[in-house]
Amino acid sequence: MAETNSIEPASEGAHRNLLAGNIGSYGRYRDGAFAHLREIGVQYVEIPVPLPEQIGAVRAQLDRYGLGTLTLLTPCDVSSEEGTAAFATLLPAFTALGTRIAFVSVKHGDTPLPLCYERLRRIGDAAARVGVTLAVETHPPFAHNADAALATINGVDHPHVRLNYDTGNVYFYNQDFQGLSDLERIKDYVVAVHLKDTDGGFHSWHFPALGEGVVDFPEVFRILNGRGFYGPFTMELEGIQGENLSEAETWQRVTHSVHHLRQHGLVP
């Protein structure tokens, strides 16, 4: 999709939409990520949840750059009782950082889905006690498409277990896929979004800058703003298989992605 220099009028929800950058978007150049995000006017960053002994240092680093965290990348292993119980040990970071959404890619091993749902329900109980909601990532078998996501939502049946919608993963994990119609089916359960572009291929590791693939971002925002969701929308730019970007090229990909969203009036 070609970029132009024209700027579309801001959508009704643009000034309410909360934009963040996933630290992984910077690849091996993460040390400069906080400074770059602030330079381009992004106020939030998605980082791994700090261990209790790391919270102070992480908070100081965030404060130094004036950044906040709307979501934290949080381990979630329901393959064992130990893994299930471990989730609660990470919750102090949410209280300390004022974060209310735990992004989780659920690990389950060979555990039957009904038992996974039961353990996720217990994790939801622990999260609810401190005002945190899980955002289950667009990964199989729990949420890679609407059928799986709705099965998880209904199976877990917990108000603090919801969905992260990844605009690129839905194409990576599904063949001949219509992403927007799938989103319409689950939009009421989405509490976080990963903004990722793609060439649309099944199992194609081709995730360029936003605006260079097949994802219709204005329509994604329209659907979600229409149900009263304004973020967090987190850029997750995972790159293209085989490329070897320089630091400058990596930063430019992030900058270009923010420009694309602003150009279409989607974020302030």
**190: CATH:** 3.20.20.150
- Residue 12 domain-assigned? no
**What pLDDT does residue 3 have?**
43
**β-strand partners of 161:** 134
Q: Looking at the 3D structure of the chain, how many domains does it have?
A: 1
The whole domain housing 142 covers 19-263
C-alpha 137: how far from its chain's center? 7
Rounded Cα distance between 29 and 42, Å, is 17
The candidate with the shortest Cα–Cα distance to 133, out of 203, 198, 76, 56, is 76
Radius of gyration in angstroms for the set of CA atoms belonging to the chain, rounded to a whole number: 18
- Residue 170 domain-assigned? yes
Rounded Cα distance between 172 and 137, Å, is 13
pTM (two decimals): 0.94
Torsion (CA) 225, 230, 234, 239 in degrees, nearest 10: 10
Rounded Cα distance between 91 and 209, Å, is 33
- Residue 165 domain-assigned? yes
Rounded Cα distance between 1 and 14, Å, is 21
Residues in the chain: 268
**Strand 206-207 relative to strand 239-240: parallel, antiparallel, unpaired?**
antiparallel
pLDDT by residue for the chain (268 residues), tens digit each? Answer: 334 444 454 555 667 999 999 999 999 999 999 999 999 999 999 999 999 999 999 999 999 999 999 999 999 999 999 999 999 999 999 999 999 999 999 999 999 999 999 999 999 999 999 999 999 999 999 999 999 999 999 999 999 999 999 999 999 999 988 889 999 999 999 999 999 999 999 999 999 999 999 999 999 999 999 999 999 999 999 999 999 999 999 999 999 999 999 999 999 9
- Residue 75 domain-assigned? yes
- Which residues are within 8 A (CB) of 204 and not within 5 positions of it... i.e. 6 or more apart? 171, 172, 198
**What pLDDT does residue 11 have?**
56
- Residue 268 domain-assigned? no
- Residue 8 domain-assigned? no
